[in-house]
Every structure is written in C-alpha cells, then in structure tokens.
Chain A
Amino acid sequence: MGKAAREASRERLRQERQKAEERAKRTKVLAVVGAALAVVIVVVGGGYLVLSQQRAEEQEFANRYGSLPEQRVQQDGSVVLAEDGADAPVVEVYADYQCPHCKQFELTSGPTLQRLAAEGEVIVHYRPVSIFAQQPAPIGANSLRGAAAARAAADYGKFVQYNDLLFEHQPAEGAEGYSTEQLKEWGTEAGIDDPAFAERVDAESEVVDTFTGGYLDDLTAAAEKELGADRIQEMGLSGLIDWGQENGVDGSFLEGTYVREAIDSTSAVEERYPSGANAFGGTPAVYVNGTLLGNEAYSGNGIQEAVEQAGPGEVDTEPLSADGAAADASPQPDASP
C-alpha cells in the first residue's frame, strides 16, 4: 500500500508541476504577444499620427497661397502684394532674413497681412534688406544669400511663399545656414520648377562668397585708411562700394547681382527714413503709409487695427517691366500662382 500510494502521489505531483509549467508558459506567451501587439500599435498608431499631421501641414501650405493676389516685382527688387487696383493703406515691411525678430514678425503678422491683401484691405510692400551684410561670418553671408534667393524667387511670382519658407528655416544666429542646396530645395517647394532659378541661386551664392571672402575686408581697410569713421557711416555700404570702385577696390563682380540689390535697398531705406520718429533703426521695420509701427506690429490684431485706422496710400516704386528684367536674364514668371 505504502509504495503504491507514494507512487500515485508522485505521479500527481508530476502532473501538477507539468500543469503549472504549462500555465506559466501560456502566461509568458500571452505577455510576449501582448508586448509585440503594443509595439505594433505604438509604431503604426504613432507613425500614422505623425504622417497624417505632416500631410495636413503640407495641404495647408499648398492651400494657404491659393487666394493670394498677384505679386509684382518693383524696379528696386521689392515686391508689392495687392489686389488689382486696390485702394488701401500701404504697409512696408523691411526685414533681414537673418534677423530673429523679423522671423517673429513674419510668424505672428505675416499671415494676417497676406489675408488682408487678398481681401483688398491692404497693399503689402515687401522690402527685404540686409542690415547684417557687414557682420562677421556666417551672419553676413546668410543674410545676403537669403535676400538674393528671395529676389530670385520673386522673378517667378513666388516671393511671398519663399519669404515664408526662409523665415521658417532661419538659421540660429551664428550658425551656418541658407545653404545653396536648401535654397534650391525651397524653390521647388514654393513651386518654382525652372532650372534657371537654381542657377541664379548658385551664381548669387558665389557672389556672396567673393563679397565676404576678402572683398569686404579689403574695402573696409582701404576706406579706414583714407576716410574718417563718420564719413564711412554716412556713405553707407552702397556708397562705400561705389567709392571703392574709384579707389582701387574692384567691386565689379557685384554689378547687376541681387546681392548688390539687397545692399542698395538697405542703404536706400536709411536715406528714405533718416531721422525723427520714423527713422529706420533696424529690422523688422513696418511702416503704415510711411509711419513706423511699434510693438503692435508683432500681432495679427495689432497690425489689422493699424491698417483699419489708416487711409489709402501710394506705393513709391514702379513695377519692373518685362523687358526691364532682361538685363538680368531672368524670365518673367510663366505660370500664374
């Protein structure tokens, strides 16, 4: 009896142990399958959210400019965004592509200005400048490359889109940015498919390299030797380049370039608003019918109010005619936006 009973109980124990093992294994399998399922859900669900958000943003970007009125390049390289024959206040926007506050302005108030322009409530006059042109590398070069590329985009009627893309990707101050590769890519993103745009970006970037890689130092050194600091200040960079041309610092590589245009625009605004309450003192500078806006420029509401309170204004530049652009060999935009 004893032996049989022992054997039976051993058998029972063995069976129970086996059952427990099986149960443990089943639990493990369930846990592992559950973990795998969680991985799938996280990857597919999370990835789907990210992808569809990206898509929504792209869609929004594509649609955002659908209702934009025509963009007309002016003789000085600035761009006027307005409904045909709009009788509305003129908002001048002076911005440097390397200036962080300009980015802030563009993010907060840019869309409002675009909307008001589409509604015929405002004439937006975009006047890019390069107040940082003489800053040490890479700030000066970034600023000039950005301005020149934006001007090239304006030739294709895509200035507003490109302007937004530049500010969206503004390099941190002191960081190398606005590379030719990026500048070309954003052109495509803005809807410019003419290879001449990429060529222009390359050419202008080479001009910037020449400008920052020696020329500016030579010019400054020559000027400091022969002119006083006050006189240099007074001449502005444009005047200084002209002076250098007559005094042995060859700046002919700048002739007819968009880099030169950006530099000239900068000197021009300093002359346009030299002193008083409306003096141009840096970027961004936003003028409504010639009156400088303060901090209210940094909100969509603020700028809308300023525009609503102003009467109709006059744009002080003339549009660039099709043959006027011929010297730059840049074709007029062939497609409507």
Chain B
Amino acid sequence: MDTTHQPAPPASAPAPAPGRWAAVQPWVTLLARLALAGVLGYAAYTKLPPALSVQSVEAYQLFSPELAQLIGYTLPLFEFALALLLLIGLATRYVGAVTGLLMVVFIAGIVSAWARGLAIDCGCFGTGGQVAPGETQYGLDIARDLGFLALAGITMLWPRSPLSLDRLFGLYR
C-alpha cells in the first residue's frame, strides 16, 4: 500500500476531491508519460545523423570540439533511451526526474545562448546552428521546454499509471 500518495483513504473520507484525483491521476500520468516519450523520441530522431547534432551543440559555443562531438553523438541516443523507458513505464519516477533535469539543462543552455547574444537555432528538434539575428525564438523554446518540464514533473511526483512495467513489478499500484 502506497500510503505516501494517498493521504486520505477514500473509504473514510467524504471529501470527493482526493478520490476523484486518485481516479484521474493514473491517466493524467499516462498521458504525460506518452507525450514526453513522443517528444523525446521525435527530438532524438530529428537530430540524426549525428553530424547535424554535433553542429547544433557546437553552435552553443560552450564545449571543446571533442566534448561537443561526444554530446552530439550521445544526446540523441540518451533522449531515445528516455523515450523508450517512458513508453514502457520502467522506473517512471526516476526517469521522470532525469527527464525534468534534462529540460532544466536545456533551458539553461538556451538562456545562456540568449544572454550571450548568440543567434542560433536551439537545435531542440532537427538541425540547429546559426540563424539570422532576427530569427531566433529563444522565448518560445524556453516556454516549450517549461511545458515539457511540467510533464516530467507530473510523472515524477505521481508515477502511478496504467500500462507500465512498474505496475507489472508491483510498484506504484
């Protein structure tokens, strides 16, 4: 019995709100999980081939060429791995946390590019690199990543969801 997430036992509590949330929450988490999996999977797919991804990383001018190369190669793979884990619902809480952390890192990267006056595409999906100074859309990128961060937060705080391997292993029932 997961007592931490059901502070009010539905049987004894007449208040309807927690009960309704308890009923709806697994489906909300499922949606968040699948949406994030879709976003990450798509992001990983559009970053390939890795040469393009390396370009996107280099555009941030934060890393040495070797490090940019390594990140460019592994980041799409890491995103893909996270997407896979979210899809099958394995270690949902922790994968959600890591995904959220990744979004924070992305946002920090965009903020830093913005603050340094770089004119780049964030490279979040597909090809990044230089763009014309008027064509940056850092605000939009950050807002979007904040949305993803919220989804990651939901999966982290309420990992209970149907159609997950966690449930099969007896976690977050």
Name A residues whose Cβ lies closer than 8 Å to a Cβ of B: 25, 28-29, 31-33, 35-36, 39-40, 43-44, 47-48, 51-52, 55
**Does residue B118 face the partner (Cβ distance < 8 Å to A)?**
no
Q: How far is the CB of B135 from chain A (nearest CB, A)?
A: 27
CA separation between A34 and B50, bound complex, in Å? 28
Contact present for B171 and A25 (CB under 8 Å): yes
Known contacts A36-B90, A36-B95, A51 near B85 by CB under 8 Å: no
In the complex, what residue of chain A is closest to B166 when comparing beta carbons? A32
- Interface size of B in residues (CB-CB distance below 8 Å): 20
Of A32, A35, A55, chain B has the most CB atoms within 10 Å of the CB of: A32
13 contacts between A and B (CB under 8 A): A28-B169, A28-B170, A31-B169, A32-B91, A32-B169, A32-B171, A43-B77, A43-B84, A44-B74, A47-B80, A48-B77, A51-B50, A55-B50
State which of A28, A29, A39 has its C-beta within 8 Å of the C-beta of B84: A39
**Does residue B73 face the partner (Cβ distance < 8 Å to A)?**
yes
Q: How far is the CB of B85 from chain A (nearest CB, A)?
A: 5
**Does residue B94 face the partner (Cβ distance < 8 Å to A)?**
yes
Chain B residues with Cβ below 8 Å from A48 are 73-74, 77
> How many contacting A-B pairs (Cβ < 8 A)?
50
State which of B51, B85, B170 has its C-beta within 8 Å of the C-beta of A36: B85
Chain A residues with Cβ below 8 Å from B27 are none
Chain A residues with Cβ below 8 Å from B84 are 39, 43
CA separation between A52 and B54, bound complex, in Å? 12
Contact present for A39 and B90 (CB under 8 Å): yes
Chain B residues with Cβ below 8 Å from A32 are 90-91, 165-166, 169, 171
In the complex, what residue of chain B is closest to A34 when comparing beta carbons? B91
**Does residue B81 face the partner (Cβ distance < 8 Å to A)?**
yes
Contact present for A40 and B169 (CB under 8 Å): no
CA separation between A255 and B125, bound complex, in Å? 50
Q: How far is the CB of A52 from chain B (nearest CB, A)?
A: 7
* Contact string against A for B residues 74-116, beta-carbon threshold 8 Å, 1 for contact and 0 otherwise: 1001101110110000110011000000000000000000000
State which of A25, A36, A44 has its C-beta within 8 Å of the C-beta of B94: A36
Of B74, B81, B84, B165, chain A has the most CB atoms within 10 Å of the CB of: B81
CA separation between A47 and B80, bound complex, in Å? 10
Q: How far is the CB of B107 from chain A (nearest CB, A)?
A: 22
Contact present for A44 and B78 (CB under 8 Å): yes
CA separation between A126 and B8, bound complex, in Å? 83
Q: How far is the CB of A28 from chain B (nearest CB, A)?
A: 5
CA separation between A52 and B74, bound complex, in Å? 10
Known contacts A25-B171, A32-B169, A35-B91, A40 near B50 by CB under 8 Å: no
Contact present for A39 and B73 (CB under 8 Å): no
Further contacts, 12 of them, CB under 8 A, given A29-B91, A36-B94, A43-B80: A25-B171, A28-B170, A29-B171, A31-B169, A33-B94, A39-B84, A39-B85, A39-B90, A40-B81, A44-B81, A51-B50, A52-B73
Chain B residues with Cβ below 8 Å from A47 are 77, 80
Known contacts A39-B81, A43-B84, A52-B73, A33 near B91 by CB under 8 Å: yes
In the complex, what residue of chain B is closest to A33 when comparing beta carbons? B91
Q: How far is the CB of B116 from chain A (nearest CB, A)?
A: 29
In the complex, what residue of chain A is closest to B51 when comparing beta carbons? A55
Chain A residues with Cβ below 8 Å from B51 are 55
Chain B residues with Cβ below 8 Å from A39 are 81, 84-85, 90
In the complex, what residue of chain B is closest to A21 when comparing beta carbons? B1
CA separation between A42 and B166, bound complex, in Å? 20
Contact present for A36 and B74 (CB under 8 Å): no
Chain A residues with Cβ below 8 Å from B73 are 48, 51-52
CA separation between A25 and B93, bound complex, in Å? 14
Q: How far is the CB of A112 from chain B (nearest CB, A)?
A: 31
Chain A residues with Cβ below 8 Å from B169 are 28, 31-32
CA separation between A39 and B169, bound complex, in Å? 16
CA separation between A44 and B85, bound complex, in Å? 13
CA separation between A33 and B80, bound complex, in Å? 17
Chain A residues with Cβ below 8 Å from B165 are 32
Q: How far is the CB of A193 from chain B (nearest CB, A)?
A: 18
* Interface hits, B12-50 → A, CB 8 Å: 50
CA separation between A47 and B169, bound complex, in Å? 27
State which of A28, A51, A52, A55 has its C-beta within 8 Å of the C-beta of B171: A28
In the complex, what residue of chain B is closest to A55 when comparing beta carbons? B50
Chain B residues with Cβ below 8 Å from A43 are 77-78, 80-81, 84
Of A35, A36, A39, A55, chain B has the most CB atoms within 10 Å of the CB of: A36
CA separation between A39 and B86, bound complex, in Å? 12
Contact present for A36 and B80 (CB under 8 Å): no
CA separation between A55 and B90, bound complex, in Å? 32
